[in-house]
């Protein structure tokens, strides 16, 4: 009872002593721009779009060289050594790989630069020509970044491909960009060998691991050279070739999006584009320095991660590699009793996609609920106190009370991510307000939530560390101007009050050149105004708050008109209904031939099974439970309740649903690598179920 009483009394006394404070800071400012009329906002501190934060540096290759020379002897890239890998059987007969990983082993900046130079020379010696393209098709790891910088030193454009990309899309990306050299890991090499017959342009493969055995290996190696990464470095070391540096306007990367519709599109990014984003995003991280430690585990084929790793270079900080499956001590692939990446590394800065933060939150909640009793009471009290502190109605967010709660409650939660995290970057999809609050409070670190697309080189807006509101994505970063233009069909206008609303259009030096080999699509969504500024039309709908912060409220494509003329915004309704405890993912479906909506619900196994147990419902397995009428009724009832609480209209709440028992991972093709739903693929895959829901 001791800690609980202290928890009640100390804050009470503190409250008597201190008064309210309110945060009314202005973060973005209206600005006059060319092009289509609308309401445009720029960053408060920068009057014209930022291009580079360093004088005389205009490419990522120059930035890397400059930093490696300056920080020569400092610790830079860390990787964990594999101690053991064993297969462990789980209860249901399947087996899982469990890893025991050692401490981080580090390369200095000087050594990394040497490896990059050797790799660049090795690539030239291999016979790769400057105007041919290289593809990197691998998970995030140290060789990925070394290869990237090696290519940059030779002015070779790099095509980036998600390691999880499916066969058809992989083939399309390599074929379209006429890639001659592919750099990959052993898992990806197997995928390449599976389709070796269809890859017309590939001549060289560089494998980051030992070369695996595969039935097509002999046949493929008659048309490809397959070399290990180490051999390329050695080749370059023995036969050095001078650098052939690019300029700002040269294409650095063609980034294939894991697009939510159709085949992926390659977005062309210049060195200038990425440098502008790196320079700008850097400004939102407070007190960034060479003392910082960054944990890298998101796909480098995602622009957020690519920009983040270049920011680390820019300030001379250290970077440890990890993976989503080994992130924490309780991650799937970590052997019980050994350490996950975060607790081993102790990062100060972390980037995350919302799905991962949601997972951290669910894990903590589950644990707190399972413990119950005084611990749960204490947690709830601490949480409520910190929430009201953040809301500005109580002092204490930074004071004594904070220390108290950290000591009593949040210390253990912070330890999940290694105890030292002081800033989180989140991007790739909208973060739910609840999760943002939860992480703010329990991890005690601000989240910079970004809004941007591959086409705008990730940059558009980012929340500032001292902004405690949730659900908004912040003011434009220094390299971007964000404009809202009218969309009459959707009923949004830049003249709306109290807030201007409309389609989000992003302009500035960070806006990319367009899609590779797809002029038609490029012309459709990119425009250059009379002043020479490039604009990208995002198709997202937003509104600007008075302090210059953007909020995403809708998506053009996701608005459907029902039979009687009411508009349903699928994204908005889904965001509200995902609040039901039974829902992992919900996909709303509306059809203009009907007056009501239906939905596919990927059910939360733990929540639904808990309920079934309480009701005494028996079932063989989870998929059978999902088909039971009572279960469907229970979930539907919960959706109605959540929907009403969120003030949804009656026609917005689904009338019929289908419960799905299998979770959706990127491999299923139903969600992107950032776990955004792929509406078209889902409609296709579940067309029969949808038809049945309407019958
Ligand atoms: C870099 O390579 C591209 C494509 O091969 C070429 O057009 C460009 O001129 C090169 N840049 C420099 C500075 O040589
Ligand atoms: C590869 O590209 C060529 C044209 O460059 C095209 O004719 C061919 O059909 C493509 N193959 C695949 C498998 O996409
Ligand atoms: C915090 O403030 C928001 C809006 O400013 C309000 O909706 C919410 O209820 C407040 N929460 C608490 C616990 O005071
Ligand atoms: C690399 C690039 O596209 N740079 C352009 C960025 O935008 C400014 C105008 O805002 C142009 O002058 C640059 O050429």
Residue 528: inside a domain: no
Residue 495: inside a domain: no
Residue 680: inside a domain: yes
Question: Which ligand gives the minimal distance to the CA of 249?
Answer: 4
Convert the pLDDT of each residue in 393-404 to its tens digit.
Answer: 444 445 667 777
Q: Do 108 and 76 meet the contact criterion of CB atoms below 8 Å apart?
A: yes
Residue with tokens 């409520």: 384
Given a cut of 80, is residue 16 above it in pLDDT? no
- Does 400 lie in the same domain as 321? no
The CATH number covering residue 155 comes to 3.40.50.12780
Residue 141: inside a domain: yes
CA of 121 to the centre of ligand 2 (A): 31
- Does 367 lie in the same domain as 339? no
Convert the pLDDT of each residue in 519-551 to its tens digit.
Answer: 998 999 999 999 888 999 999 999 999 999 999
Q: Given 3-state DSSP classes, what are the helix, strand and coil percentages for the chain, each rounded to the nearest 5? A: 40, 25, 40
DSSP states along 428-461: SSPPPHHHHHHHHHHH---EEEEE--GGGTT-SE
Nearest CA to ligand 4 atom 8: 509
- Does 120 lie in the same domain as 233? yes
List of E strands, 396-532: 423-426, 447-451, 461-462, 481-485, 501-507, 514-515, 526-528
Residue 641: inside a domain: yes
- Does 195 lie in the same domain as 226? yes
Boundary-marking domain end, from 445, 472, 502: 445
391 lines ligand 3 (CB under 6 A): yes
- Does 667 lie in the same domain as 626? yes
Which residue, among 594, 580, 606, has the nearest Cα to 663 in the 3D structure? 606
- Does 582 lie in the same domain as 622? yes
Residue 530: inside a domain: no
Q: Supply the pLDDT for residue 8.
A: 58
Two tokens, residue 80 = 């964990």
- Does 295 lie in the same domain as 391? no
Using DSSP, state whether 515 is helix, strand or coil: strand
Convert the pLDDT of each residue in 563-573 to its tens digit.
Answer: 777 788 888 88
pLDDT band at 134 (very low <50, low <70, confident <90, very high): very high
CA of 392 to the centre of ligand 3 (A): 9
Cα separation, 462 vs 426, whole angstroms? 9
List of E strands, 467-581: 481-485, 501-507, 514-515, 526-528, 534-544, 550-555, 559-561, 567-569
Given a cut of 60, is residue 63 above it in pLDDT? yes
249 lines ligand 1 (CB under 6 A): no
Residue 607: inside a domain: yes
Residue among 250, 251, 254, 516 to mutate when testing ligand 1 (max atoms within 8 A of CB):
250
Cα separation, 423 vs 289, whole angstroms? 13
Residue 493: inside a domain: no
* Nearby residues of 54 by Cβ (< 8 Å), 6 or more positions away: 63, 66, 279, 314
Q: What is the pTM of this model?
A: 0.82
Given a cut of 80, is residue 5 above it in pLDDT? no
- Does 362 lie in the same domain as 314? no
Mean of the per-residue pLDDT values of the chain: 88
246 lines ligand 1 (CB under 6 A): yes
- Does 330 lie in the same domain as 221? yes
Find which of 398-402, 408-412, 672-676 is predicted with most confidence, using mean pLDDT. 408-412
Angle between helices 373-390 and 2-17 (to 10 degrees): 20
Q: What's the Cα-to-Cα distance from 259 to each of 139, 184, 279, 455, 584, rounded to whole Å?
A: 18, 21, 26, 11, 21
DSSP states along 565-612: S-EEEHHHHHHHHTTSTTEEEEEEE--TTSSS-EEEEEE-HHHHHHHH
130 lines ligand 1 (CB under 6 A): yes
Q: What's the Cα-to-Cα distance from 500 to each of 26, 507, 542, 693, rounded to whole Å?
A: 16, 18, 9, 38
Nearest CA to ligand 2 atom 1: 175
Q: Supply the pLDDT for residue 19.
A: 40
Boundary-marking domain end, from 429, 445, 461: 445
Q: Supply the pLDDT for residue 501.
A: 95
- Does 330 lie in the same domain as 238? yes
Boundary-marking domain end, from 420, 445, 470: 445
Number of H helices, E strands in the chain: 23, 28
Convert the pLDDT of each residue in 71-121 to its tens digit.
Answer: 999 999 999 999 999 988 876 667 888 999 999 999 999 999 999 999 999
CA of 61 to the centre of ligand 4 (A): 19
Domain count, the chain: 3
Residue range(s) defining the domain that contains residue 644:
562-694
- Does 198 lie in the same domain as 167? yes
Question: Degrees (nearest 5) of the Cα angle 158, 164, 168?
Answer: 80
387 lines ligand 3 (CB under 6 A): yes
């Amino acid at each position: 009872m001791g800690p609980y009483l202290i928890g009640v009394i100390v804050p009470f006394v503190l409250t008597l002593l201190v008064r309210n404070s309110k945060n009314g800071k202005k973060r973005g400012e209206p600005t006059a721009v060319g092009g289509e009329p609308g309401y445009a906002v720029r960053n408060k501190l920068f009057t014209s779009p930022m291009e580079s934060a360093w004088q005389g540096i205009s490419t990522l290759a120059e930035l890397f060289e400059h930093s490696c020379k300056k920080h020569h002897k400092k610790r830079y890239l860390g990787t964990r050594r594999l101690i053991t890998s064993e297969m462990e059987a789980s209860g249901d007969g399947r087996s899982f790989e469990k890893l025991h990983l050692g401490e981080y082993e580090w390369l200095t900046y000087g050594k990394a630069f040497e490896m990059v130079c050797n790799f660049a020379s090795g690539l030239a010696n291999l016979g790769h020509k400057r105007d041919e393209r290289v593809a990197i098709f691998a998970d995030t790891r140290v060789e990925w970044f070394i290869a990237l910088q090696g290519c940059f030193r030779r002015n070779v454009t790099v095509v980036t491909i998600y390691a999880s990309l499916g066969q058809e899309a992989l083939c399309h990306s390599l074929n379209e960009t006429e890639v001659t050299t592919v750099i990959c890991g052993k898992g990806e090499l197997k995928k390449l060998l599976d389709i070796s017959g269809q890859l017309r342009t590939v001549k060289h493969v560089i494998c980051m691991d030992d070369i695996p055995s595969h039935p097509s290996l002999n046949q493929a190696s008659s048309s490809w050279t397959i070399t290990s990464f180490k051999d390329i470095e050695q080749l370059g070391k023995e036969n050095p070739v001078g650098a052939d540096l690019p300029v700002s306007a040269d294409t650095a990367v063609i980034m294939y999006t894991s697009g939510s519709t159709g085949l992926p599109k390659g977005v062309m990014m210049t060195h200038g584009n990425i440098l502008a984003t790196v320079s700008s995003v850097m400004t939102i991280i407070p007190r960034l320095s060479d003392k910082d430690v960054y944990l890298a585990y998101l796909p480098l084929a995602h622009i957020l991660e690519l920009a983040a790793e270049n920011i680390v270079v820019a300030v001379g900080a250290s970077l440890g590699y990890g993976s989503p499956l080994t992130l924490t001590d309780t991650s799937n692939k970590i052997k019980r009793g050994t350490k996950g990446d975060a607790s081993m590394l102790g990062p100060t800065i972390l980037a995350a996609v919302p799905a991962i933060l949601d997972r951290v939150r669910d894990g903590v909640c589950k644990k707190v609920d399972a413990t119950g009793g005084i611990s749960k009471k204490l947690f709830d009290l601490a949480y409520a106190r910190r929430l009201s502190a953040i809301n500005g109605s109580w002092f204490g967010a930074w004071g004594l009370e904070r220390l108290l709660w950290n000591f009593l409650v949040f210390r253990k939660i912070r330890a999940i991510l290694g105890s030292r995290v002081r800033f989180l970057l989140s991007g790739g999809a909208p973060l739910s307000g609840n999760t943002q609050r939860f992480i703010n409070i329990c991890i005690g670190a601000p989240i910079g939530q970004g809004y941007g697309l591959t086409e705008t080189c990730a940059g558009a807006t980012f929340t500032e560390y001292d902004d405690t509101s949730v659900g908004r994505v912040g003011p434009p970063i220094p390299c971007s101007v964000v404009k809202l233009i009218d969309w009459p069909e959707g009923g949004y206008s830049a003249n709306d009050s109290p807030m201007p609303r409309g389609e989000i259009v992003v302009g500035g030096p960070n806006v990319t050149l367009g899609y590779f080999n797809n002029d038609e699509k490029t012309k459709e969504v990119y425009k250059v105004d009379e002043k020479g500024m490039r604009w990208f039309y995002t198709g997202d709908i937003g509104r600007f708050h008075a302090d210059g912060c953007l909020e995403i409220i809708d998506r053009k494509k996701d608005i459907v008109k029902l039979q009687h003329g009411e508009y349903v915004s699928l994204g908005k309704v889904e965001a509200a209904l995902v609040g039901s405890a039974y829902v992992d993912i919900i996909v709303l479906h509306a059809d203009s031939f009907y007056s009501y909506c239906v939905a596919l619900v990927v059910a939360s196994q733990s929540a639904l099974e808990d309920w079934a147990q309480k009701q005494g419902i028996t079932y063989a397995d989870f998929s059978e439970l999902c088909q039971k009428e009572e279960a469907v009724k229970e979930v539907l009832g919960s959706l109605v309740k959540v929907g009403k609480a969120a003030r949804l209209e009656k026609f917005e709440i689904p009338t019929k649903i289908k419960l799905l028992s299998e979770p959706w991972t990127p491999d299923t093709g139903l969600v992107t690598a950032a776990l955004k739903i792929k509406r078209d693929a889902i409609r296709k895959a579940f067309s029969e179920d949808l038809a049945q829901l309407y019958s």
